[in-house]
Amino acid sequence: MSRWIPLESNPELFNNWAHKVGLVESDSEFVDIYGLDDDLLKLVPEPVKAVILLFPIRGKLEELRKAEEAEIKEKGQVPVDPTVFWIKQTISNACGTIGLLHALTNAQVVFEPESPITRFIYACQDKTPLERAEFLESTHLFADIHAALAASGQTAVPTDLDTDLHFTCFVQAPEASAREAEIPTDERRLIELDGGRAGPVDRGASTDLLKDVAKYVKEEIMPKAPSLQFSMIALAGGFQDDVNEDNLV
């Protein structure tokens, strides 16, 4: 398995990464989420299009996540919109890049033509999540950008690349049945996109992406985490087309 340098959870670094891979600079930006209380959530620009969470993945929390994974495999879950773009993580320490890709590819944002991310989406649109991972391993579209920015963070590059901190991403998507039947709907589901899991995970109905993620993190992750090494960053601002594709997305 390939191993990359871990990315720092830093909105300035995330924005540099996004612009280098092709996000139009005037469209949206990554910003800090300073806390989970409503007063602090109000400081985040709207609309919020994705949330990236960095959290400690060990101890009780990791055990519970593995148990949840086994339960989903055995019993299934609420079907997830089949057009959600998900990538399996096969590169060690690439969860930052995977989280950024999940945020950008599932948000209403604008990319530069022929940019790395545009080429990646085009090349991967008919691939399976594992084939997308294999393509990510074999191409230099993102590896060089990841390496350069990982080395430019505010903290020194660690000599020990083993880390128990992990990035995951949250987005909204319409119900799978509405998407498949092409029925217009304003109803949304909260979807967690973690390349370390077996697939996207449905986290329930969602009316406000930022508040719903904050509630989930506060109630389901923080009480079970072995430390308070948390960071949340939102992809926010720009234009949000609420009626795109007849409210299907």
**91 contacts: CB under 8 Å, gap ≥ 6:** 1, 2, 3, 4, 133, 136, 137
Q: What is the pLDDT of residues 157-198, one digit of tens each?
A: 444 445 678 999 999 999 999 888 888 888 999 999 999 999
Contact between 201 and 77 (Cβ < 8 Å): yes
Pairwise CA distance, residues 37 & 198, whole Å: 31
pTM: 0.89
The residues carrying an active-site annotation are 95, 166
For residue 154, which amino acid is it? Q
Contact between 210 and 41 (Cβ < 8 Å): yes
Please give the sequence-ordered ranges of beta strands (E in DSSP) within the chain, or none if there are none: 29-33, 48-56, 165-174, 188-193, 201-206, 231-236
Per-residue pLDDT of the chain (249 residues; tens, 9 = 90+): 565 777 889 999 999 999 999 999 888 999 999 999 999 999 999 999 999 999 998 888 889 999 999 999 999 999 999 999 999 999 888 899 999 999 999 999 999 999 999 999 999 999 999 999 999 888 887 878 877 777 665 554 444 445 678 999 999 999 999 888 888 888 999 999 999 999 999 999 999 999 999 999 999 999 988 778 899 999 998 755 543 444 344
